[in-house]
Amino acid sequence: MIEVEVRLFAYFREGRGKKQLMKFQEGTTISQVIEALDIDEKEVSIALVNGMDGSLDREIKDGDIIALFPPVGGG
C-alpha cells in the first residue's frame, strides 16, 4: 500500500474537504484517484503531482502530493 495526500480546490472541496490522506495499491493512476473521490474525470482541468503537471494515466508513488483543480473562470 502507498499513501498520498490529495489536495482539492474550488467546488471539488464540497463534501470532501480541503485535503485528504488516502491509501492505494501500488500501480494506481491519477485517474483512479479521481474515481475514488467520485469526481467526474471530465471535470478535472489540472492535475498536479508534487507541483508538476501530471497526466491522468500517471502512476502515483508513496508520499506524492496530488492537487486537483476544476476549470477556473473569470477575467
Domains of the chain: 2-69 (3.10.20.30)
Q: Report the alpha-carbon distance of residue 10 to residue 70 in Å, rounded.
A: 7
Please tell me the distance from the alpha carbon of residue 69 to that of residue 58, in angstroms, as a whole number. Answer: 16
The confidence band for 52, taking pLDDT boundaries of 50, 70 and 90, is: very high
Q: What is the pTM of this model?
A: 0.92
Residue 42's pLDDT band, with cuts at 50, 70 and 90, is: very high
Instruction: Please give the full DSSP string across 43-67, using - where no structure is assigned.
Output: G--EEEETTEE--TTPBP-TT-EEE
pLDDT in the model for residue 72: 79
Per-residue pLDDT tens for 15-27? Answer: 999 999 999 999 9
Using alpha carbons, select from 4, 71, 6, 72 the residue that is nearest to residue 40: 71
The letter for the amino acid at 32 is Q
